[in-house]
Amino acid sequence: MAVQTTSDRPRKLAGYDFYHQILGSPKLIVAPMVDQSELRILSRRYGAQFCANNPSQLLASALAVQDHCDAVDINLGCPQDIARKGHYGSFLMDEWELIHDLINVLHENLSVPVTAKFRIFLSVEKTVAYAKMLESAGAQILTCHGRLRTQRGQNTGLADWAHIKAVKEAVRVPVFANGNILFHEDVEKCLKETGVDGMMSAEGQLYNPALFAPASSGNPSSTLTGAHPLHADLALEYLAIVKSLKMPTSTSAVKGHLFKIMHPALSRETDLRERLGRIRGSNIVEEYIEVAKEMKERMERDAAEVMKGGQMIDDLITIEPTTGLRVLPYWLSQPYFRPLKSPTEASERASSPIPTSHEDVKRARLSGQSAVGDIDISL
């Protein structure tokens, strides 16, 4: 395969020149997620890759798309089983020479920059060394997900912003942070505490694609700074996108997205949950739309009934006792988390609050426990 030499190519922008002049200095970024591309379109309306383990194959694929994109991003952070089986993502973290080659071959041969997303190691020092290796290989933007490779599913726990801050202070290229974004107001908090250039969200977008959008001028809440639309409206908007795409979307992926987007009410509207789960056949998207429309009617009915006395949304927000996290009215889009399972765990949780410092998180990891017990806040 013939490749261009450096002297054959026009100068491409790098680092902050690329970040400012080509990307437009974004602060809010939707993360790369396997099989979630069509939902990223919806997320983008509300404000808002490659995985490989063979440098030559990666380059061949990247060359095919370089004229249709601003950059090529390598996702080195995926901890899912599909990444383990395929030997990519975070399961390459211990193969630094290979990772260096993956990034460097793109840096040397593409007409567009290469960027990389990665997870942290247990020690800040190793995390920083890893980030500096990625930078030296040619990555022009780094996204640091402040969780270990083992922090997933029931063991997700908190992301460690101290690692992210250390990475930002150690490298010269732009850095994006990833982790612990539940509500819109968490974005500004992360930017302030870590000093990063931008904030990336992954699973938070699956439950509330409007996560990055500020509250509208008619916002009926004084405490929520972000948009929390009727989740059924988001579901219908998502299904309209699915219908508009030239390539068909996996029906199982569509169903999974709908269960996430409408999750606040599906535990109440059990008939719709069961109907959604049973949908099969050739006219699937239209049947999904009918379920979402029925959900919208019920949610609008319930919201009107509850709020007819002039109540504010703030009056309806409750606090989940084992986590201290806010729970919004069930007709609104909102983050997902798993509360602790038993009164015993809740009692232990009450005497051991969610850690906020790097040392608290590190102690929890060393003890072999999730930093927040069984709370899934991988957002």
DSSP track, 168-224: HHH-SS-EEEES---SHHHHHHHHHHH--SEEEESHHHHH-TTTTSBPPTT-S-SS-
Split at pLDDT 50, 70, 90, the class of 218 is: low
* pTM for the predicted model, two decimal places: 0.79
How much is the pLDDT for 209? 92
Q: What tokens were used for 284?
A: 């699937």
- Tell me how many degrees the CA angle 355-145-193 measures, rounded to the nearest 5: 55
User: What's the whole-number mean pLDDT along residues 311-335?
Assistant: 90
Split at pLDDT 50, 70, 90, the class of 340 is: very low
How much is the pLDDT for 40? 54
**CA separation, residue 64 to residues 69, 76, 262 (Å):** 10, 21, 37
Q: pLDDT tens digits for 81-116?
A: 888 898 988 889 999 999 999 999 999 999 999 999
| Of the candidates 274, 302, 272, the residue with the CA atom closest to the CA atom of residue 289 | 272
How much is the pLDDT for 117? 94
State the alpha helices, DSSP H only, in 113-173: 124-137, 161-170
Q: Is the pLDDT of residue 194 over 90?
A: yes
Q: Is the pLDDT of residue 341 over 80?
A: no
How much is the pLDDT for 109? 96
State the alpha helices, DSSP H only, in 7-118: 15-21, 37-45, 55-65, 81-86, 96-109
- For residues 327 and 216, the model is more confident at 327
Active-site residues, by number, are 78
Please tell me the distance from the alpha carbon of residue 347 to that of residue 176, in angstroms, as a whole number. 36
Query: Tell me, what DSSP letter sits at residue 114?
Result: E
CA atoms within 13 A on the CB side of 70: 13
Split at pLDDT 50, 70, 90, the class of 321 is: confident
Q: pLDDT tens digits for 137-189?
A: 999 999 999 999 988 877 777 889 999 999 999 999 999 999 989 999 999 99
Q: pLDDT tens digits for 235-291?
A: 999 999 999 988 888 888 899 999 999 999 999 999 999 999 999 888 899 999 999
Mean pLDDT of the chain: 83
